[in-house]
């Protein structure tokens, strides 16, 4: 990854990075294609899971700079989630395609199944963004907190 690939962070839209297991089975292919579609739709930026496992500096930095991480695993082995955990990432959302009916070795790759995965992923991302907005109201912005700490009673 080079500097040209860096997506500028905006105040309006947090950066969500998506990683897919991309395994050798049909479930892995569906996971990969779900992540690619999310990236094409602008819902998330797909990044390289192998780079996380290989500790490639620029790819690890992409994950560290993300506001949110979504992991898409094709089967119950959850290889993508394990890869992120082993690299030290503990906070991420996790879409397990087997929980929406994708079965390793017996689920042909179809546009409909990919669309089902994209819909499930977008539901997760909407929930994350909704929770983040609600939590913004719980903590006052830093400048206000600083002003409050300088107020003294007469």
For the chain, the domains span 11-150
CA distances to 32, 33, 70, 94, 139 from 121, rounded to whole Å, are: 12, 12, 8, 9, 28
Which strands, in side-by-side order, build the sheet including 93-96?
45-46, 16-20, 68-73, 93-96
pLDDT digits (tens, 9 = 90+) for 46-89: 999 999 999 999 999 999 999 999 999 999 999 999 999 999 99
Nearest residue to 52 (alpha-carbon basis) of 89, 11, 77, 25: 89
CA distances to 134, 140, 142, 145, 154 from 148, rounded to whole Å, are: 22, 10, 10, 5, 14
Q: Which residue has the tokens 């992991």?
A: 71
Strands 93-96 and 16-20: unpaired
- Share of residues in the chain with pLDDT > 90 (%): 73
pLDDT digits (tens, 9 = 90+) for 32-49: 999 999 999 999 999 999
CATH match for 11-150 among 3.40.50, 3.30.310, 1.10.357, 3.30.420: 3.40.50
What is residue 85's three-state secondary structure?
A: helix
Rounded to two decimals, what is the model's pTM? 0.80
What is residue 105's three-state secondary structure?
A: coil
Quick one: pLDDT at residue 9? 47
* Rounded-to-integer distance, Cα 111 and Cα 134, Å: 34
């Amino acid at each position: 990854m080079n500097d040209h690939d860096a997506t500028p962070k905006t105040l309006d839209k947090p950066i969500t990075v998506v990683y897919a297991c991309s395994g050798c089975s049909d479930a892995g292919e569906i996971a990969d294609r779900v992540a690619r579609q999310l990236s094409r739709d602008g819902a998330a930026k797909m990044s390289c899971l192998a780079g996380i496992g290989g500790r490639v500096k620029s790819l690890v930095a992409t994950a560290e700079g993300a506001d949110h991480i979504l992991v898409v695993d094709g089967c119950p082995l959850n290889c993508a989630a394990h890869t992120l955990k082993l690299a030290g990432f503990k906070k991420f959302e996790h879409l397990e395609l087997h929980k929406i009916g994708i079965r390793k070795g017996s689920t042909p790759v179809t546009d409909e199944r990919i669309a089902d995965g994209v819909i499930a992923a977008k539901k997760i991302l909407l929930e994350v963004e909704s929770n983040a907005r609600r939590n913004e109201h719980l903590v006052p912005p830093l400048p206000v907190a600083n002003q409050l700490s300088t107020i003294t009673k007469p």
